[in-house]
Amino acid sequence: MDNHAHRKANKYLKAKLFGAILFLIPIASEAQSLSTLDFFSKFVSKNYRLPEELKSNCEWMYAIVKVKTDNHNRIIKYEFVNKPTEGMKKPFDFLIGYQFPKATKINGHPIIFYLGIDNLEICKEKPGDKVFYAPNDVVSTITSYMQKILRDDPKTIFVPNLVFIGYPPSQR
């Protein structure tokens, strides 16, 4: 598949993933402010830095991250719901100390967000790499995690904005 086909498939994949997850996730409880969660998504997008050595990796890289807050809505801990590569895990330390506004009613429930890496334009494909995942693969993988989370704690707060970190060709 050439680069143009990859980009087109990737856009289609994002749209399908976004639609499916929004359909299946009970987006933040009524008490949550979507603008607060949107601000958090922008904070993640601005501060996450994929290590250079992973920018050329063509495999699907994503993380479903669960954060825990203290009584002041400050993030004190994070863990991964899925199993991202070790290199992808390291840059998440910036989350510690982030404070949601006091008006955000977290009430001790976990907050979950999705971060995906969009580096198809700069990755260096190797024989055997599975560069493109069909929308059904992605949706079934992500929703299986989400369903388990909801069974464990139905009041989990899901950040509705999926965070995609993109790397255009100029960043080689």
Q: Which residues contact 87 (CB under 8 A, 6 or more apart)?
A: 50, 51, 53, 54
Domain ranges of the chain: 3-171
Instruction: Tell me the pLDDT tens digit for each residue of 8-41.
Output: 555 555 544 544 444 444 444 444 556 778 889 9
In the chain, the DSSP E strands lie at 62-69, 75-80, 111-118, 157-158, 163-166
Q: Is 155 helix (H, G, I), strand (E, B) or coil?
A: coil
Instruction: Tell me the pLDDT tens digit for each residue of 106-162.
Output: 888 899 999 988 776 777 777 776 665 665 677 788 888 888 888 988 888 888 777
Which of 145, 154, 142 is CA-nearest to residue 19? 142
Instruction: Tell me the pLDDT tens digit for each residue of 83-108.
Output: 998 888 989 999 999 999 888 888 88
What local confidence, expressed as pLDDT, does residue 6 receive?
52
Residue with tokens 């987006």: 27
Structure-derived torsion over alpha carbons of residues 23, 26, 32, 36, reported in degrees to the nearest 10: -40
